[in-house]
A and B are shown apart, each in its own frame.
Chain A
Amino acid sequence: MRRAVVVVGLLLLLLAVGFFLGLRVGSIDTSFQTIVNAFLNYDAQDTAHYSIVHLRLPRLLLAFLTGASLAFAGYLMQALVNNALADPYLLGTASGASLGASLSFFFFADLTFLGLYLPPFFALAGSFLVTLVVVVLGSRRGQLIPSQMLLVGIALSSLLTALVSLIMFLSDSESQLKSVVFWSMGGFEKADWSNLGYPATALVLALVLFFFLQRHLNVLLLGADRAETLGVDVRAIRWVMLVTVSVVTGFAVAFSGPVGFVGLMVPHITRALLGTTNRFNLLACALAGGVFLVGCDLISRLLYPPVGLPVGIITSFFGVPFFVYLLRRKNYRFS
C-alpha cells in the first residue's frame, strides 16, 4: 500500500511537470505568467492564450488519455491471454483501424459524413469489425480460447497490414501516402476538445469497473483452471475484459493512430514497480501510460519542431532502455 502511494504520487508529480512543460512548448513563446493568465484571465483575442487553451491543453489530454488507455488495455490483454508478450493490438484493433483510416484517406478524402471527419470514424469501425472477427474465430461454442484468439489476431493483422500496403502501393498521390504513414505512426496534432470525450468516457468507465474486478485479474494470472477452482467465473470475466479492451483501444487508436510500445511495456513496468498483485496496479498502469506518452510527445516536439516526430518513434527510443533495465532486475516476475 505504501509503495503504491509513493509510485502513484510520483507519477502524479511527473504528470504535473509534463503538463506544465507541455503548456509552455510550442511555436509561440510562452512564459509561466502567460500560462497562468490564459486560465485566470483568458483573452480570446490573444493568440498565445488561445493556443494554450485550445491547442496545447487538448493535445496533452489526448496524449495522456491515449497512453493511459493503451497501457490499461495492455494490462488486461496480458491477463486475458496469460502471456507476457500480449498487447492491446493482438485483437487486430490496430490493423483494423489502420485499414479503416487508409480506406478513408484514399477513397473518401474530400467527404465528410454528417459533418464528421471520416478517418477516426473509419478507424473505429475498422477496429471493432476486426476485433469481432478475431473473437468469433478465436472462440468455440461461446467459449473464448485465448491461444487460438491470439493466433487468429496475429494472422488477421498480417493480412490487414498487407491490404494497407496494397492500398498504399496502388496510390498515385504522395500526399495520401503521407497521410497514412503519419497516421500509422501515431500523433496528437488533431486533438480537439470535441474529440476528447469518447476516449475519456471509455477509459474512466473501464477503470472504475476493473478497480472492482482487480482481484479476479490477479487470480486469472494463475491460469484458467486454478481461477475456476478459486471461484472465478472465467468465461464471464474474459468476455468483459475482451469488450473493455476493444472499446478502450478502439477509441484511443481512432483519434491518435496506433501508437506502439505503450500497451506492451507499461504494464510490465508497473508490475516491476508494484509487484504482480497490487490492487493499485491497474490505476498506476493507466497513469504511467499517460505520463509516458505526455513525456514522449513533449520530447518529439522539442526534437523536431513544430510538428514533432511521430510519437511511436519516441516511445520505443526512450521506453526500451528503461524497460530492459527493469526486466533485468532480479525480482521481476510476470505472474
Chain B
Amino acid sequence: MRKPAAPAASGKHTVTDDLGRKVSLPVKPRRILALAPSMTEMLFAVADTATIIARTQNCDYPAAVLTKPVVINYPMDYERLLALKPEVVFATEGIISLETAAQIEKLGIPVYYQAYDSVSDVLRGLRDLGKLLQQEPKANALADSLQNQLNQLVAGAATSSHKPTVLAITWRDPIYVYGRNTLFTDKLRYAGGQNAVKDVFAQAYPALTREYILQINPEVVLGGSFDQLEKTFFSLYPELRRITAYRQKRIFPVDDDLMSRPSPRVVESIQELKRTLR
C-alpha cells in the first residue's frame, strides 16, 4: 500500500492506491462512497457510517446501507455523483473502468482503487482503509479477528488429504465459471478444495466448452441445487451428466453475493464453502 506523505496545508495528502495510481485525498475524509457492493461492505465495516453518503443500485449489505441515497454506477450517473459532493470515491478493480475513474476525477473527485487477488489482499484492504479513514484500531481489530478465523480454517483443512475439484458456474448460456485467477480459487484453498479450472484464461470469469468441462471432470459443482441445475443446466447440456459431480449428486447452491464479493464476509463465504464441500 501507499506511503502517506506529510499532510499538506490544505489537509490533503497524496497516497498510492492498489493500481499504483497517485491519489490526493483529505487526511480525514468526511464524505465518502463506494462504487461497488463489495467496497460498500468494506466501508461499512471500517468507516464511521455517518461519513458514507451514498450507495450504488447493487449495494444491499449490510441492511443499514439501504437507508443511503442511490447513485447509479452503470452507466455512471456523473451529475448525481457531483451533487452528492463526495470527498473521495472508492472503487474496485474490474467493476469501475479507468475511463470512468478519469471522468470522475475531471469533476474534481479523487478515485481510490483497491484490488484483490487473494483472501489476504482483502484483509490488507481493510487495514489500508483503516489508515485512510483514520479508523485504524477498528480496522485492525476486524482484520486480526478474520486472520485468526482463517488460521483455524487452515489448521482444519490440513487434516483432510483429498481436495475435491470444484467448478462454480455463474451463467449457463454460454457456460461462465469462476476462473483460476479469481479470489474464489484462494477461498477454496482455505476451504479444503481446489478450483477444477486449471488454466488461467484472459478473463477472470471465462466461458467454457462442454468438452473442457468433461476433461476437467469436476467432483463438485456450485451454482444451484441438484434439482435446479438439472432443470436449467443439465437439460441444456445433457452431455455433462457424465461428470463425477453429477453422478455423485455433489451439486450445491451458494449465495452468489457472498461468494463473489471481496468483502469482510470473505471468511464467512469460506466457511460456507467448507460446509458445502464436507
Contact = CB atoms under 8 A, between A and B. Distances in A.
Given A27-B215, A50-B242, A182-B174, A306 B209 contact: yes
Nearest to A112: B235
Interface string A91-117: 000000000000001000010100101
Given A54-B239, A55-B239, A189-B174, A182 B215 contact: no
B208 A306 contact: yes
B29 interface: no
Given A50-B242, A55-B239, A26 B170 contact: no
Contacts of B58: 172
Interface string B152-195: 00000000000000000011011010000000000000000000
B231 interface: yes
Given A175-B170, A178-B171, A179-B174, A307 B235 contact: no
Given A110-B232, A112-B231, A189-B174, A27 B239 contact: no
A307 B208 contact: yes
Nearest to A183: B173
B215 A47 contact: yes
Nearest to A301: B209
Interface in B186-229: 206-212, 214-215, 217
B209 A189 contact: yes
A172 B211 contact: no
B174 A115 contact: no
Contacts of B211: 26-28, 51, 55-56, 306
B5 interface: no
B56 to A, nearest CB: 11
Contacts of A117: 235-236
Nearest to A55: B211
Nearest to A115: B235
B184 to A, nearest CB: 16
A175 to B, nearest CB: 4
A119 interface: yes
B134 interface: no
A28 B216 CA distance: 9
A275 B212 CA distance: 44
Chain B residues touching A, range: 20 to 34
Given A54-B239, A115-B235, A172-B57, A178 B212 contact: no
B97 to A, nearest CB: 13
Nearest to B74: A172
A51 to B, nearest CB: 5
Contacts of A50: 214, 239, 242
Contact of B214 (A51, A182, A192): A51
B176 A189 contact: no
Contact of B171 (A47, A56, A175): A175
A50 B239 CA distance: 9
B250 to A, nearest CB: 19
Contacts of A56: 211
Nearest to A182: B174
Interface in B54-85: 57-58
B64 to A, nearest CB: 22
Interface string A143-182: 0000000000000000000000000000010010011001
Contacts of B209: 26-27, 55, 189, 306-308
Contacts of A51: 211, 214-215
A26 B57 CA distance: 41
B176 A28 contact: no
A30 to B, nearest CB: 10
B235 to A, nearest CB: 7
A47 B176 contact: no
Contacts of A192: 238
A187 B207 CA distance: 13
A65 B40 CA distance: 50
Contact of A307 (B170, B207, B232, B236): B207
Given A47-B242, A112-B231, A307-B206, A175 B176 contact: yes
Nearest to B238: A192
Contacts of B210: 55, 189
A55 B232 CA distance: 19
Given A55-B210, A189-B210, A119 B173 contact: yes
A241 to B, nearest CB: 34
Contacts of B238: 192
A178 B176 contact: yes
A91 B160 CA distance: 62
Residue among B207, B209, B212, B235 with max Cβ neighbours from chain A (10 Å): B209
16 contacts: A27-B211, A28-B211, A47-B214, A47-B215, A55-B211, A55-B214, A112-B232, A112-B235, A175-B170, A175-B171, A178-B207, A179-B171, A182-B173, A187-B174, A189-B209, A307-B209
Given A47-B214, A178-B207, 6 more contacts: A27-B214, A27-B215, A47-B215, A51-B211, A55-B239, A179-B173
Please name the 7 residue pairs, one residue from A and one from B, whose CB atoms are nearest each other, closest first: A175-B171, A27-B212, A306-B212, A307-B207, A27-B215, A306-B209, A51-B211
